Amino acid sequence: MSLKGFHVFFISVCLIFSVGLGIWALRAYRSTGQADSLYLGVGAFFCGAVLAVYGVWFLRKLRHLSFV
């Protein structure tokens, strides 16, 4: 696997974990009511969205490079 393939895998894992962190933080906010958890949750979902957009952009930009 080339760096391109590994990078796509890495960004996909990060995207899944960002959504996971967002869910964890919002659940923490619901149980404790702490504003920090709310900010963390919203931030995590935002990062997830940024990663998704970046992933698509990356695949388009480096179309000519091999996955192998």
47 binds another protein (CB under 8 A): yes
The alpha carbon torsion through 19, 24, 25, 31 (nearest 10 deg) reads: 150
Judged by CB under 8 A, the residue of 30, 49, 53, 54 near another protein is 54
12 binds another protein (CB under 8 A): no
User: Measured from the CB of residue 3, what is the shortest distance to another protein in angstroms?
Assistant: 4
Write out the two tokens for 31.
């149980």
61 binds another protein (CB under 8 A): yes
Site string for another protein, 21-40 (x = CB under 8 A): x--x---x---xxx-x---x
